[in-house]
Amino acid sequence: MSELQQTLVLIKPDAVKRNLIGEVIRRCEAKGYEVVELKKLAASRALLEEHYAEHHGKVFFEPLVEFMLSGDVVAIRLEGHGVIEGFRSLAGSTNPTSAAPGTIRGDLGREWGTKVVQNLVHGSDSAESSSRELALWF
């Protein structure tokens, strides 16, 4: 049996603007995960630059930060056995056009012709990232 974990889930500005907060949470809870903590906020540039620090200097860094500054974000501390891998599976692949049907990105996302892919949600990719990211957002 996998260990009990926590992960950071971000509902990005595109999903917030499209009123998909409830749908994302519904899918997490339907999977059996628990929302331990949740907050809606306008993220600061400093927070986003620290969150995406590993991408600093890459061509998509500034458009990504600008996108994340474009509206409110919902940060969720999600808990469950194997939740880190499980949420990433639930979210679907990064590109919403090729994300599998049944996933959040596959069912609800699409390409909009923007400078950076707007793909509705973020989920931590490892236990180390989860720990670092949860400390930033909560």
SS (H, E, C) 14-81: HHHHCCCHHHHHHHHHHCCCEEEEEEEECCCHHHHHHHCHHHCCCCCHHHHHHHHHCCCEEEEEEEEE
Decide: 49 and 58 in contact? Cβ < 8 Å.
Answer: no
Q: Which residue has the tokens 């919902």?
A: 74
Nearest residue to 59 (alpha-carbon basis) of 3, 115, 11: 115
81 carries an active-site annotation: no
Catalytic positions, written as ranges: 122
